[in-house]
Structure 1
């Protein structure tokens, strides 16, 4: 049994602040409009926030955010209350270190807006929050340590959210128990079926690795659809701490949506394939700069291959296995060529702008030169060209044009 969490209760004498806006309804239960609206609860909720890093659990009564609240204030509020786990968090394997487990709504049920109810619920949530904290899987990456979901953490989180959000309806016809689901641990799935693993995953960089998450789910789902035996085997592996063994209704599992721990497993798989070396994305490798500098816009494919090979060798000498090397040098060459194209476009735009500004002056020059030529004096085309900043052939062309006009 892990250590209990530190609980941050509301004060025993806590009452809803007078600044909170009351929730009112203009009709009675029959739908008739009332002369005086019914006053119910408050436009507020109690947020139950778990800080996994510090192992603290908070009960935080907060009014609903004003629509006109500024971005900075919204950001401060989000940092205080924690991050709400969306579908995207499960798909990408991101378990927020400061997690919003759920909110106790105070809108329509004023009887739960008491310190006794809030603190009692906080104690009920604590064992589930502890399971979330204990089940979080550390993922060590170049940008630091983040967390991924395990089956236990996912199940406990969903149970805690249900417990919090259904509290106002406890004992009523609107109450219902937590309908647990069963989850698959990616590590167990691929240990059971290593043939589903793509060896290329071990060489992917961090960005490409994140793109594999959905492909992993699709690969398992496709294999399950084509193999009743695999479906049966994986159903036996699926787990959820508050869930009884699956009955007939539960066996048709959408595995792609219930496969958790994918990100943690991918990073661990990449590390295991490095044979004791430290897998480092070439884009994060400190020695990257020297080799990246060798990539030029004029580099050939052979040059890029040689540069990448040298980088891999230098890193290996430091006990590092570079990953994400495929296409790395080509991307740099593309960036260099884009910079050159941008330079060409800038020069072209500057010339176009300059020529537009010079157009009146050119017209003025032609008029003055034509006036000089009209005198009929003996001045060479070369001499007039030097004076006007034109070639002698341009002066000759204008002289001939004026002669033709005179003849006509």
Structure 2
């Protein structure tokens, strides 16, 4: 299931084929009397234990692995689902002291969370902390009336539905199972269950997709009337089946992607959606319909990630869980931490990340101390080229700058 749910999880979740066993180290082992070892703290005292208000939970199971996917996924509905949830709950208890008494967001990503065996999913949802926004990713073919009711019963109030396209020939290219009618049925099942905050994912730049195809997909999505839309350019990640089959084709059509991007922005803004982030749109007039969880990452907030391959950033440290399912579950069965890497983040690194992620948003970035990592001459030059807007106190990308994104940001950073 394609997701750019947020920068850090997306970066950490990728596991090149054949390299899953690399760098297994870190937190394995138990402390005195079988207790968990305490995580080394960066010397700022116990106040960090109530800082984290954003929780990500990774559910890796999928019916099949899409050719373009490079996230940590496990194919098949089997006996692993229940034990994996057991491991997640052990990890939650292990890290609970890092969580604030009241969370702002919980996000269940994958994989396909709604492919998880329903009893195991219900047990997990029932054990997770309450939050103002609780999002679950879903593939349309996994959504039933019973599943929608289960999600509502356990406090989920936002569903992100992986549509990708409404056209069978494009869905086939993407190895997607759901058909257009399945998407519509899933959407209305969620509506009937009481969900009033539904997000749809679309992809553009699919091999064989024409501008008319993209227009059709956008029109079909708008007709459903979701509160939120995410529209991503298809990427052929190294090591995926898709990169071998279509990588060259995607490179050749790179010059046409700006026109597709403009079509997405023009069509959705004309339909009453606010383009609040490079790839994300919410219904105009209600900023609460933005993805609050993803906003936390774009704004540089701390977050805790649970599950195989998940990443956490807390008080200047970032750690990643092992991407190997067996190693993850074995560690937690032994009540050991499943992290394989712990990375201290310098103030400079955090500022650079804040600029890189903050510039994805439509609201200008207040420079302040961030000016230390911004090349002032480059900022003026890019403003002259029409790629950024700045008054030297704030900074934002223009529409074209947001399309070029990473290239513009790289030029800005010292």
Using structure 1 for the length normalisation, give the TM-score.
0.22
Q: Which has more helix, going by share of residues?
A: 1
Point out which structure has higher relative CO (alpha carbons under 8 A, 6+ apart): 2
Larger radius of gyration: 1
